[in-house]
Structure 1
C-alpha cells in the first residue's frame, strides 16, 4: 500500500499549522482543525442537521464509542462479519461483549443476511456491526430492516468506504451509528491515524457522558486534524485512481481463475481483493505473495477470519475465503505503469501452478 501524502505546497501549509498548534498548545480542542474536519465528514456523508460528527483518534475508538452509546454491556452478544479487519472484534472485546461471528457472502465478501437472520433467532443480540468490507458497501437497507424488527442498534463500520460513489446519496443514516477511519491505508489519512463517530446529536449529548467513554482523550489531535483537512481536496481523485487500478487488474487477469469482489460500482476500492480458485489454501496464497515480493511487489493476505484470530469456531464460507483472498498492490502512490508487471507475475505463477 502506498499511503497518501500531501504535495509540496500543502506540506508547507501543514508545517505552518504544526507550528501554530505547538505554539498555542491546542493539541486537542472542540474547535479549530477538528471542527473543520468533521464538517467535511458530515458533508461527505450528507448527514442531516440532527446528526453530529465526533472526531476520534481512530476508527476502532469510534466503534468502541458506538457500541457503548448503543447500550452494549459486558457479556452481551454483538453480531459482526467474520471476514473483516480484526479491529471489529477488538472493539467488541474491549467493552467485554461477546462476538457472534456471521458468515459472509462469497461474491460480495460482506455479511451474509441469512446467517444474520439466523443469529437473531438464536441469540439475544445487543447490537449488529455491518462492515463495508474492502470499501464495498454492505446491504445497509436489509441489515437496518432486520435490526429494526428486533429493536437492536445497527452500527455501521464505514471505515473503508469513505468516498464510495452511490448515485449521489450516501445512506449512512440507515444505521444508528457510523464509524469512520483515517488510518494510513485509507485513500486520504490524518497523518496516519484518526477517525470519526457519526450519530444523532441527541444520542451523543445524552450518552456521551458515560465515564467509560473518556471522550476527551479519544478525540482526534489537532496535529492529525490539520493534515486531514489539507488532504481532503484529493479524496475524489484518489478514489478514482483506486477504482481504475482494480478495474485494470480485472481486465488483465481475466481467464486465470481469480475472482474479484462484486459490487464494484459501489466501492472505494481501497484494497484490491481477489480470490484464488476454489480449492486453493493458505500455503498457495502465501506462495503467490512471496513470488510477488521477490519481484518487488507487496501483496497482502487481507483479511484473516476473525474467529480464527481469536481461537473460535469459524463460519464455513468465511473460513474458506480467508485462505484464498489476496489483495494485490494498490494505493494512492501506486504507479499505473506497474500494473502490467504485477499482472504478468501473477499469470506466471498461475501458469506454473496449472503445470
Structure 2
C-alpha cells in the first residue's frame, strides 16, 4: 500500500479514476450475463416478468407498497407529478442546486417551479426558505432533492406539509438506500423518484428509473401513464407517455439490488476514511477560509455517499491540479438552475440564492465507489495536501 506523500516528497503519479465500472462488472459479470440470457431466451423484452420482480424487490427495499419502473429518473419525476395531477396553475417549490431534471420535470408537467435556497451544511433544501416562499405564493407541492445521497430535512418539510396541505415529491435520484430517522428514501413523501443512471449507487446499464409510493391509486395511475395512458390494451384513458422500464435493465437491476446495501455500507467506510486522512493531513477547516470543508452528515440521516463532496474557494485550481495528477474529480453542479440560460423565463437573477451560488463555486466531488482502494484514497489526499502546502 502506498504511503501518504508529505510536503517535500516526490509526487506520485498513480492515477485514480472518478469511477470505474469495470471493477463492479468483474464481480457481477456471471450473474448479470445469466440474467440477460434469461431475458433473451424468454423473449419478453417489454414489461417482462423481470420488471415485476424487480419492482416488488425494490418496493420492499424502500419499505413501501409500490414501485413503478420507468425509462429514466427524469421520467420518474414527471410521472410522480402527473400522478398527483400537478400541472398548469400549480406551483412546486424546489432547489436551485440540483441536476436540471429537477426543474425541467416540473415544467414538463406544466407547473411553475418556485425556487428556495439551500442549507449550507447539507446542500439540501432549507425548510425555512421553503416556508418563506410558500407564505408568499400559492404552492401545491414541494420537491426536496436528497443531494449526494443524504436525505433533506424531512421532519421540517413534513411538518410544513401537514399544516399547509403541500404534497411531497422526493427527488431521490441519488439516494437509493438512504434513510431519515431510520425510514428509507422513497417512503418519506407522497411519492418519490429514483434514477438508475449508470453512475448511481444502484445502477443500470443504460437509462432507467422508478417511482415509489404507499398510495394504491397513485401507483395504479403511474403504471397507466408510463404506457401511453392504457389500462386496457389499445384503450387510452389519458395521454400518457412511453416510459416503460426495459426488461433487460430490470434484469440487471434485480441482480445489483442484492448488493446495493453492502455497496452503500462500503461507501460510508470510504467517506469515513477520507475524513480521517484529511484531518491527519492538517488541511481541514471549520470554514473554507481555514482549509477544505468536509461533507457534513446530519445525525438523523443515513448518508449513502453517492458523492463525497468537499468545499474550497480554490476549487477550480484544485480540480486542474488533480487532473494534472491523473486523479478524477467532478463538479456537481457548476451553475445553479436559476442562472441557466434555458430557465431565464423563471425570472430569477444572480444574488437571489446566495448559498446555492456559493456552493456552485466551491464544491468538488472526489472519487468514491465501493471498489475504491485505500491506497487510492491516500493518493487523492496526498495530492490535495501538496496543493495546499
Q: TM-score, normalised by structure 2?
A: 0.81
1:145 aligns with 2:159: yes
Q: Flag the 1:111–1:16 CA change in 2: closer, same or farther, 3 A.
A: same
Question: Shift of the alpha carbon at 1:12?
Answer: 3.2
**What residue number does 1:26 align with?**
44
**What residue number does 1:302 align with?**
332
Matches within 5 A, 1:282-293: 284-293=314-323
Q: Across the two proteins, how many residue pairs are aligned to each other?
A: 339
CA distance in structure 2 between the aligned counterparts of 1:138 and 1:172, rounded to whole angstroms? 12
Q: 1:342 aligns with which of 359, 374, 380?
A: 380
Which residues of structure 2 form unaligned runs of 5+? 1-17, 230-237, 284-290
The structure whose Rg is larger is 2
**What residue number does 1:204 align with?**
219
Cα deviation per residue 1:257-286 (whole Å; 9 max; x = unaligned)? Answer: 11123226520001011111xxx2xxx322
1:125 partner SS: coil
CA distance in structure 2 between the aligned counterparts of 1:69 and 1:231, rounded to whole angstroms? 28
1:331 aligns with 2:331: no
**What residue number does 2:240 align with?**
213
CA distance in structure 1 between the aligned counterparts of 2:20 and 2:195, rounded to whole angstroms? 14
Question: Shift of the alpha carbon at 1:328?
Answer: 1.0
**What residue number does 1:41 align with?**
58
CA distance in structure 2 between the aligned counterparts of 1:160 and 1:296, rounded to whole angstroms? 26
2:140 partner SS: strand
Cα deviation per residue 1:285-322 (whole Å; 9 max; x = unaligned)? Answer: 22211111111111011123121223442411111111
Contact 1:104 1:318 in 2 (8 A): yes
1:259 partner SS: coil
CA distance in structure 2 between the aligned counterparts of 1:264 and 1:345, rounded to whole angstroms? 28
CA distance in structure 2 between the aligned counterparts of 1:233 and 1:24, rounded to whole angstroms? 22
Q: CA RMSD in A?
A: 2.2
CA distance in structure 1 between the aligned counterparts of 2:25 and 2:95, rounded to whole angstroms? 37
Contact 2:72 2:197 in 1 (8 A): yes
Cα deviation per residue 1:204-247 (whole Å; 9 max; x = unaligned)? Answer: 33574553432xx2111011011111112221221122112222
Q: Flag the 1:71–1:27 CA change in 2: closer, same or farther, 3 A.
A: same
Q: 2:109 aligns with which of 88, 95, 101?
A: 95
Question: Shift of the alpha carbon at 1:75?
Answer: 5.0
2:184 partner SS: coil
1:333 partner SS: coil
**What residue number does 2:130 align with?**
116
CA distance in structure 2 between the aligned counterparts of 1:275 and 1:8, rounded to whole angstroms? 33
